[in-house]
Amino acid sequence: MERFLVEPALFPRRISGETWGTESVTIDLAGDRYRIDGLASWQVASLASRYGPRMNFVGAAALSGTATAGGSGRHITSGDAVATLQVFRAPRSDFREIDTRGWEYWLDLQWDDNALAIAGMRLMARVDLASMRGGIWTCVDDPDEFWGLVENVLRPILAAQLLDRGNGLLVHSAAADGFLFPSTSGGGKSTIARMALDAGLPVLSDDLNAIVRREDQWMILPLPFTGDLLERELSATPQRLRAIVAIEKSTDNALRNMPAAAAVSLLTRCSPYVNQDPQRTDALVSRAAEIAAAVPRAMLAFTMGGNVWPILNRA
């Protein structure tokens, strides 16, 4: 917390404070809705610019001009949401100034029993994971920055929700034509996703994908969380998980078998946020093993200009 906060000891202990406004929205992620309360109109418009048709309006926002800011405009009730976040004001003096030159954005996460505390650039958040209620405190007043701040809170909450409810996993990965390519930063996710687009194949994301069990099969569900690709380039249609494929850049295209243990290790390493919580280690490894056992597994060496899809489809 010291990296981002002037006085870490003053990190909020309760979900309370002065909200920015009175408007509320929900955002659809991996089949669930996440509600955000205490918004000003400009914050609603900021979220709508990012989440578009994934966003629904609650109460006043559904009746005001903000409902035309890019969202669906559907009016929903609070009972539809699996998690609720309130947005509060925080003085700029609470946050350290960060020199972002050459800096890769990261968050400080603290898992404590059944709660999660988050600190980031101009951001504090606390979530009770039992009730899935939380607060976001920020001084950000720039619409172009605000939606990203909220997204930095939604991502770890989504990861915990998928793991804790027993039917999913959030994975750093590219997903194309039913193949999941888990990888850490710089491992080739965006490259393999771009190759899939060039081959005319549907791509769900080149950064984060939700793997969710639907009845007797695992599905990859589209998320708005992308890396180098733009969301408009991606498919919005869920895909059946066909295989888990580890990737490495090479001078030749080659495919070899991947042991189940290696696939479990890969999925665990590539499950962000929850893999930082020691209390969730057993559940995470168990979920990764369940997914790895359900589909074929392979290790793919690929060239930058090659066509890997024929050998993948033969596997």
Which CATH number belongs to the domain containing residue 249 in this structure?
3.40.50
Q: Are residues 14 and 160 in the same domain?
A: yes
Per-residue buried b or exposed e for 92-110, using 16+ beta carbons within 10 Å of the residue's own CB: eebbeeeeeeeeeeebbbe
Structural tokens at position 152: 């930095």
In a domain, 160, yes or no: yes
In a domain, 196, yes or no: yes
Domain count, the chain: 2
Helix, strand, coil distribution of the chain in percent, nearest 5: 30, 30, 35
In a domain, 2, yes or no: no
Q: Are residues 67 and 144 in the same domain?
A: yes
Domain boundary among 139, 164, 189: 164
Share of the chain above pLDDT 70, in %: 92
Domain boundary among 130, 164, 198: 164
Torsion of Cα atoms, 276 then 278 then 284 then 289, to 10°: 110
If you average pLDDT over residues 1-30, what whole number do you get? Answer: 92
In a domain, 263, yes or no: yes
Q: Are residues 20 and 95 in the same domain?
A: yes
In a domain, 249, yes or no: yes
Q: Are residues 59 and 202 in the same domain?
A: no
Q: Tell me the per-residue pLDDT of 166-217, one tens digit each, with 9 for 90 and over.
A: 789 999 999 999 999 999 887 789 989 998 999 999 999 999 999 999 988 9
Domain boundary among 164, 192, 221: 164
Cβ atoms of 128 and 83 within 8 Å: the answer is no
Q: Which domain holds residue 65?
A: 8-164
Q: Are residues 159 and 188 in the same domain?
A: no
pLDDT for the residue numbered 29:
95
d(CA 150, CA 190): 24
The confidence band for 65, taking pLDDT boundaries of 50, 70 and 90, is very low
Torsion of Cα atoms, 259 then 213 then 82 then 66, to 10°: 100
Cβ atoms of 209 and 179 within 8 Å: the answer is no
